[in-house]
Structure formats: structure tokens, C-alpha cells
Amino acid sequence: MIYGTTAKILRVDLSTGSIEVEEFTEDFYRLYPGGKALAGYILLNEMPPRTDPFAPENVLVIANGLLTGAPVSTATRYVVSARSPLTMGYGESEAGGFWGPELKMAGFEAIIIKGRSPKPVYLWINEGEVEIRPAGHLWGRLTAEVQEAIRGELGDDKIRVLQIGPAGENLVRYAGITNDLRHFNGRNGMGAVMGSKNLRAVAVRGLQRYQTLAYDPDALMKLGRKLAKGVKESPQSWDLQERGTPGIVEPLNISGILPTRNFRQGAFENVDQIKWEAYEKELLTARRSCYACAVRCKREVAVEGQTSVYGGPEYETIASFGPNCGVGDLQVIAKANEICNAYMLDSISTGATIAFAMECFEHGLIGLDDTDGLDLRFGNAKAMLTMIDWIARRKGFGNILAEGVMRAAENIGGDAHFFALHVKGQELPMHDPRGKYNVGIGYAISEIGADHLVVAHDTMLTNPESIPFTNARPLGITEAQPARSMSEEKMKQFYILEKLTSLEKVIGYCFFGPAPRSHIQIDEMLLSINAATGWNLSVEDALLIGERATNMARIFNTREGFSRKDDVLPERLFKELENGALQGEAMPREEFEQALTVLYGLKGWNPETGNPTREGLDALSLGWAADMLA
């Protein structure tokens, strides 16, 4: 028996309707145990370079983490991966919730979806049995309606439904995927890939328990109980439970790095109207969790007096539709969140794209004739809400914005490219790197384009006596560094922290699980992996798994023609912030370039091209992939 896994992968070809199940071996499992590693291996080996993201040949992988579904706090996550229509590179997006654990309970680690169905369909996975069912009657409908319809026709309200919305059907390049209406694979346009395959949903029901797969279920259960109790004893996870991500709005504003008006500014004059205290008073109705998670960071809210079925806006959504669009009204932001989730758009890219359009409008690059009469100025909440709807339906000017800022800027022309804040085509998340440089390095180097979950943010590791720094020491992080530094020591930290985050994406832990961001100590993380698998991994062994996964994604991009020239930041970040605590500050360009060179060296990549080398890949047991670069 291979412990900690069902070892089963479901293969579905939607063009032919074929359904197959295959099993992997222990040797394979040790190298590619799940999530990002499993998806990366499959994409590299089963998809030829330069596959059109919307062609039937694009391979869509949904892969659970090794621990997903284990009775351990925050181990809930799965990745969705394919070639991204937004970046044209390696595509990936993670989500928590209940769907991943349910897939494991139904008997599968991952689903590989190829081809394109001639008509809309959904998959129904019930206790290991798989069926492709018609979805013509679901096509075009909002996500809440579709979840209810699927549960109704299958006669079980406990079925977990993963689905795209109308935005994915319409191939909006940043359409996402939702499960349970409240958890999102938002980034990289994975919903559009699913839509291109005419696949509306994957419904799952399973009854197997993770404990039956574990090497030492008692040790795993004991750790699970300890971590559940520990959430309330850890200041960081306690705070995540109390406030959730909306709690960071005000401190980021004070720090001068709350993206405001398309990253022109770092402080928002109406922050009091959107900070946590306002959220708690005006929106909050309850707190919720993902499967077996004791942190409970999810918020439930009331929108227009009604409890929303789509959950409450996270920090990213608040900042994206709030300060970044110049809007200081929580009800509007909550409504924007609801529209995104009903149509299933990535709320980060949607808000960022509208902010881009607002700046183009204010600079006269587009006018009322272009926007079909919509006065797209910063702060116009009504126009912003209308535009979300138009983007999802590709109506009018929304059709141009549905392509994302990079392509929209090409379409608009002139100086529009300066206002298009993206890396590799993906819009910037809501963290201004001018106040935390490693976040900027992460935006630049991430294989999926601008991503804020590449490393723990710099500010957490500036004081050697602080809780997060103390908890990061077992990783080999020993020297506190300023947030606004890209020193060699800082790049060493980046290298370690990136491996950790990548490992989390392989084993299914949330960013809000392990230290330094939250309550699970590094030795506890190792214990959970070892209790599940029977392995005896050290910290270095575990980090190697993360590094291997990152390298596979990098190889995918190298194969597609990406290189150091694509590890860049938008020009605006090298310009001065207009207001706030960091007014007048900019990313230092030369230091940024030097830091990349140092980092490539640490990673075993060619410092000039940024490409992985055979020596580096051999050390990661990825010699087979080096052949792809020859």
C-alpha cells in the first residue's frame, strides 16, 4: 500500500467521452506527491509546446495536495493547472473549501481533462463511479443556480460542486473556477480553459476518510487535535479567525502600500469606510471555514440586506474594487464581489482591469464613444459595477477588457501600456512592492505572472525576536532584513521561502497554515507529511519537493519561450508613489536586476537567460526535463 494517497488519477477525454483510471507508483509519488508537482509533471509530459490554450489539446489538471482532506487544519487545497490563456505560460490556481477533500473521499488524487465536448457537459463523480452528463440546461446560468440545479437533479444536497460561470463559458481570459460558491481558483484564466472544453462543472460525492489512507492515523489525528486547539493560542491564526484578510486594509494603508487608483498612490483617503471595523459593522454576518480548518478565516456577509450565498469579499477584492478603483463604499465592493462570483471572474484581475480602464479614460486615451457611454472615472461605483457585468458577458467595451490589461492596452494604443500593470500578462495583486521588495521579486519571477503568494511577505521577517521570524528559523532563516532591501541575504531568504510556499502547493496546505504566516510550526508540518506517508523527511527533503515543482513550472515556460526578459515589473513600480507613508519612493531598478542575477544563481539557473540548467535539474531528479530544453 502507498500511504497518504489513493494513488488514483482519473482521465477524461471530452472529445471521445472516454473515462479511464490509472494508478501511480511509490517511486513516482515520492517525486511528485500531489498538487503543483503532480500537475507540473503531467503538463510537461502530456502537452506539446505552443498548444493553443483554448484548443482541445490543452490539458486541464485538477490535482489535490498530498494532505488534502487530512484531519489537519488548513490542509484543504487543490490546484487547477493548464496552459494559461492570460499569460500563455504555465497556468495554475489554488483553492481551499470542501471540494478537494471530497474528491479524495471519492477515490481520486487528480483529474486529467483533455479534448472538447461537442456539447456542454458536467462530470459526476460518485464514490469512484464517473459519468459525463449533459449540461446544456445549465449553460449561461449563474453559479448559485447551477449548484442548486446539479444538487437537485442528483438528489443529494451534500454534493460538492466545482464549476465555472458564464465568464468561463465566454472565454474571458481571467475567468475563474468556484467550489461551493465561496472558494475560488481565481487566477490565470483556468475557468476559461474549462469553458473552452464545454465543461461547466465537476460534481463530487465521496465517503472514504483520509485516516484510512494514512501510515499513522493516530499520530495524524493527534496532531490535528493539537493544531485545532493551537489556533486560538497563536496570535497570528487567532487574528485570521477574528478579522480574516479584511483586517489588513488599514495597516497597509498606514504603511503607504495600499494600491490606490491603479497603483499611482499608496494611501486611500476613504480608508475608514472600508477597513475592518466598517466591514464588521456593515457587512459581517458570520465566520466560516474550509474542511477541517480551525482558522475559519472566511467571512459571511449581507449584501443589500440579504445574506450573500457567495461569501464575503477578501482583502484582495476589497482593495481591487475599492482603493484601486477609487471607490470607498463597502456595499458596492461587496456587490462587485457578488457579481464576480455569480459570473465567476477573478476579482483581482477584474478590479485591476477596470482601474486600468479608468486611468486610460482620465488620460483621454478612451472616451465615452469607446465605453458605450460609460463614464469610467476613478470613484464611479455605478460604472464599475456595470463594467463587471459587461466584461463577464463580453458586452461592448467589456469585450476589450475581457482580454486583460496587456491585450487591452495593445488594442487602445498610445501610452495605455504604461497603465497596464501586469507581469507576463497577469494583473498585479493588491500589494505594492515598493514597500516590500521580495513581493516584487515574487511578482517578477513567478511562473504564473504577478502573484502575491510566492513567498512570505518581507515585513514579517524584519525583527529577529518577532513571532513570525522566530517561527521561520527552522527553515534556515537567521538574519532579519529590512522590507525594502534586495540584498544577497534577502535573496537567500527568498529562495528558501519560495520552496516552502511551493511545497504548500504540493501538499495542500493553505498559505494561512504553516509558519511564518500562521500557526503550524515547521516541525509540525513535517510530522503531518511523515505521519501520512510513512516517510521520514527532513526540512531539506521537504523543501526539495517544493523546489522541484517550481522548476517544472519554469521549464514549461522556458519551453514556451519565456526567459529572463519576462521576469520584469511594470514601469510604474520604478516610479515614485504619489502619496502616503512612502510618498516619493520607487523600486530601485539596478538593485532589482542584480537581485534577480543572485537569485537565478541560487536556483541553479543561468543568470543571463534565467533558464534552468542541466546541472541544476539533475540535482532535483529532473534530468528528463532538461532534455526538453535541449
Partner 1 sequence: MRLYLGGYLNFYNPQHGNWLVVDINQPSHLKEVLVELGIPVSDVYLVVLNGQLVELSETIVSGEDEVKLYPAVGGG
Residues lying near partner 1 in the complex (CB under 8 A)? 235-236, 238-239, 242-243, 245, 247-248, 250-252, 254-255, 277, 314-315, 431, 439, 452-453, 456-457, 459-460, 462-468, 511-512, 516-517, 581
With H, G, I as helix, E, B as strand and everything else as coil, classify residue 123: strand
Question: Nearest distance from residue 93's CB to partner 1, in Å?
Answer: 15
Question: Nearest distance from residue 451's CB to partner 1, in Å?
Answer: 10
Question: Nearest distance from residue 65's CB to partner 1, in Å?
Answer: 17
Question: Nearest distance from residue 255's CB to partner 1, in Å?
Answer: 6
When the beta carbons of 436 and 603 are compared against partner 1, the nearer one is 436
* Residue matched to cell numbers 474571458: 172
When the beta carbons of 134 and 235 are compared against partner 1, the nearer one is 235
Handedness of CA 147, 153, 155, 159 (dihedral sign): negative
Question: Nearest distance from residue 259's CB to partner 1, in Å?
Answer: 13
When the beta carbons of 258 and 374 are compared against partner 1, the nearer one is 258
When the beta carbons of 173 and 517 are compared against partner 1, the nearer one is 517
Please state whether beta strands 183-185 and 177-179 pair in parallel, antiparallel, or not at all (unpaired).
antiparallel
When the beta carbons of 108 and 184 are compared against partner 1, the nearer one is 184
Distance CA 232, CA 553 (A): 36
Question: Nearest distance from residue 38's CB to partner 1, in Å?
Answer: 24
What stretches of 371-518 adopt beta strand conformation (E)? 422-423, 426-427
Answer yes or no: are the C-beta atoms of 290 and 299 closer than 8 Å. no
Phi, then psi, of 376 in degrees rounded to 5: -85, 55
Distance CA 603, CA 610 (A): 10
The verdict on whether omega for the bond into residue 516 sits within 30 degrees of 0, i.e. cis, is yes
* Residue matched to cell numbers 527553515: 475
Question: Nearest distance from residue 356's CB to partner 1, in Å?
Answer: 22
When the beta carbons of 136 and 251 are compared against partner 1, the nearer one is 251
Question: Nearest distance from residue 257's CB to partner 1, in Å?
Answer: 9
**What is the residue-wise DSSP string for 147-161?**
HHHHHHHHT-TT-EE
With H, G, I as helix, E, B as strand and everything else as coil, classify residue 142: coil
Question: Nearest distance from residue 504's CB to partner 1, in Å?
Answer: 12
When the beta carbons of 466 and 613 are compared against partner 1, the nearer one is 466
DSSP class of residue 612 equals B
When the beta carbons of 255 and 324 are compared against partner 1, the nearer one is 255
* Residue matched to cell numbers 460542486: 161
Question: Nearest distance from residue 520's CB to partner 1, in Å?
Answer: 14
Answer yes or no: are the C-beta atoms of 82 and 90 closer than 8 Å. no
Write out 505-531 in H/E/C secondary structure: HHHCECCCCECCCCCECHHHHHHHHHH
When the beta carbons of 277 and 488 are compared against partner 1, the nearer one is 277
When the beta carbons of 314 and 370 are compared against partner 1, the nearer one is 314
Question: Nearest distance from residue 550's CB to partner 1, in Å?
Answer: 18
When the beta carbons of 252 and 385 are compared against partner 1, the nearer one is 252
**What is the residue-wise DSSP string for 202-249?**
EEEE----GGGT-SSHHHHHHHHHHHHHHGGGSHHHHHHHHT-GGGGH
Q: In what order do the strands lie in the sheet with 78-83?
A: 18-23, 8-13, 110-114, 60-64, 78-83, 90-95
Distance CA 212, CA 362 (A): 60
